[in-house]
Amino acid sequence: MVTHNLKLKEELHKLRKDKLKEITTKMHDVLKEKEDVIVETYSYDLKDLIYAMEEKLKQVRGVMKVKVGGEGSQPFVG
């Protein structure tokens, strides 16, 4: 039973990893204007795409904090 649960967890992890790769590729294509987000896109795909974009933004902010040595980017004052 434990082995079966472990195998299921590994399969689920692989599926999530594959889905994340797919969504990340789509995100890059959309940002490079190679692909449009069409109305017929399923809502769960859009939610996954939004999640992937938010996670990438968190990573960028983390790198900015390290490089700047502070809170990250400052708000634009124009």
Q: Is the pLDDT of residue 78 over 50?
A: no
Q: Which residue has the higher pLDDT, 52 or 37?
A: 52
Number of domains in the chain: 1
Residue 15 covered by a domain: no
Question: What confidence tier does 75 reach under pLDDT thresholds 50, 70, 90?
Answer: low
What domain range includes position 51?
40-66
Taking CB atoms within 8 Å and a gap of at least 24, the contacts of 44-48 are 48/19, 48/23
Residue 49 covered by a domain: yes
* Average pLDDT in the chain: 77
